Amino acid sequence: MIYIVQLIIALLIISFFVFSIIEIYCEIVKKRCKAFFGMLISLILFFLMITVRNHLVKNELVESINTSKIEQDNSSFSKRELSDIHIVSEKIRVADKNIFVVLMPQKDTLYMNQDFHDKNKFWVHYKKYEILKITAPLGYIIKQ
């Protein structure tokens, strides 16, 4: 299901660029067209699908955490702490500290960065759905 949502996101990005090109062409030729509305709808649906994808990934990650054995480096996060992921879309500022957690036996890895301002807040990245080493954090957890 997550891969279908990612495919829809890719199609929405392509449709946004197509509508942008059509709108630019119409402006140059001085024709009236409704491509702006297509751009707007594509953009709104893009942000909606990003939110849907984040919730699907969070649900899969929480299920995986609850059924896995956890191997951690330099940290001691409980399953309850790791399962309590808060999904947000805010700008993050992180310290250079990376913490890796491996979920066994499937060997899924998630890594966390400590927040720059709040030392108890850790931003969670899930490597299973990382594309080209570029990923936004899924959300954050609070270490208690």
pLDDT of residue 92: 75
The confidence score (pLDDT) of residue 9 equals 92
Q: Per residue in 65-111, pLDDT tens?
A: 888 888 877 667 888 888 888 887 777 777 767 777 888 777 788 88
Interval 22-70: pLDDT, tens: 999 998 888 888 888 999 999 999 999 988 988 898 888 888 888 888 8
In three-state form (DSSP H/G/I as H, E/B as E, the rest C), the secondary structure along the chain is CHHHHHHHHHHHHHHHHHHHHHHHHHHHHCCCCCHHHHHHHHHHHHHHHHHHHHHHHHHHHHHHHHHCEEEECCCCCCHHHHHCCECCCCCCCEEEEEEEEEEECCCEEEEEEEECCCCCEEEEEEHHHCECCECCCCEEEECC
Q: What is the pTM of this model?
A: 0.78
Confidence of residue 134 (pLDDT cuts 50, 70, 90): low
